[in-house]
């Protein structure tokens, strides 16, 4: 079992839809959770950063962490064509451990 | 704006010809990372520096080396590029190993 699982998609939604992106993980030591957005041929851009369980909201984006289920989500409200990108989840444990990335979910928002 | 800069953005090299990619940062972060990302795959960590302390991932080929002459700069050297080394190379920085990482735009390497 991989440490981080993420459905690669592609996921196609109409403009204005609510998008739900998810990752599951197996390592209960993970405590730091991130979502990155990566446009084609560009570097990943940090969207959300959360520590431990709970929700965090930033504009149209909401990140949720459920450590009991080892499941994290990113919700995008009122999705726009400019949200079309690959979304990568990433996580790390306490101490000297680097980030572990999911493979990314490719999202297309159709106008 | 504080940022992570990578040069060049596109690099073409010949099979077996050494190549160096560079990364600089104005964030004054302690940690600098090099990742390899192939199409539709997650970034794969090659190595990272915590200050001057070099940390190599166990499965990083010996063909890949890195240098960090100062806080701001980090280089990736590929001694003898093979066709399988064609990829996007991403540099990232963070304040500590568990903090969020900030990525540069990447260098797309083509090996002919």
Q: What is the pLDDT of residue B45?
A: 93
Per the prediction, chain A carries an average pLDDT of: 92
Q: What is the pLDDT of residue B1?
A: 65
Q: What is the pLDDT of residue A53?
A: 84
Q: What is the pLDDT of residue A54?
A: 86
* CB of A40 less than 8 A from some CB of B: no
Pairwise CB contact (< 8 Å): B105 & A43? yes
pLDDT at A48 over 90: yes
Q: What is the pLDDT of residue A96?
A: 59
Percent of chain B with pLDDT over 70: 98
A92 burial level (CB within 10 Å; 0-12, 13-18, 19+): buried
A99: nearest Cα among B38, B81, B9, B45: B45
Residue of B nearest to A106 (CA): B40
Three-state DSSP class for B39? coil
* CB of A52 less than 8 A from some CB of B: no
pLDDT at B81 over 90: yes
Q: What is the average per-residue pLDDT within B19-25? A: 97
Per the prediction, chain B carries an average pLDDT of: 93
What's the DSSP call for residue B54?
Answer: E
pLDDT at B21 over 90: yes
Instruction: Find residues 8-67 of chain B whose CB sits inside 8 Å of chain A.
Output: 33, 40-43, 45, 48, 50
């Amino acid at each position: 079992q991989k440490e981080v699982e993420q459905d690669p998609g592609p996921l196609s939604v109409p403009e204005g839809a609510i998008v739900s992106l998810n990752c599951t993980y197996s390592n209960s030591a993970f405590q730091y959770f991130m979502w990155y957005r990566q446009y084609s041929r560009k570097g990943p851009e940090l969207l959300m950063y959360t520590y431990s369980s709970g929700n965090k909201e930033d504009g149209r984006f909401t990140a949720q962490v459920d450590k009991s289920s080892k499941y994290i989500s990113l919700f995008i409200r009122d999705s726009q064509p400019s949200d079309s990108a690959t979304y990568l989840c990433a996580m790390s444990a306490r101490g000297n451990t680097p980030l572990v990335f999911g493979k990314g979910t490719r999202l297309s928002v159709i106008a | 704006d504080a940022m992570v800069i990578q040069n060049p953005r596109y690099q073409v090299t010949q099979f077996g010809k050494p190549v160096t990619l560079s990364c600089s940062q104005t964030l004054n972060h302690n940690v600098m990372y090099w990742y390899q990302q192939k199409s539709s795959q997650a970034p794969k960590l090659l190595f990272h520096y915590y200050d001057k302390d070099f940390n190599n991932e166990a499965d990083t080929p010996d063909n890949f080396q890195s240098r960090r002459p100062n806080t701001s700069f980090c280089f990736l050297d590929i001694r003898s590029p093979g066709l399988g080394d064609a990829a996007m190379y991403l540099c990232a920085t963070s304040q500590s190993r568990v903090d969020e990482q900030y990525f540069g735009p990447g260098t797309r390497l083509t090996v002919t």
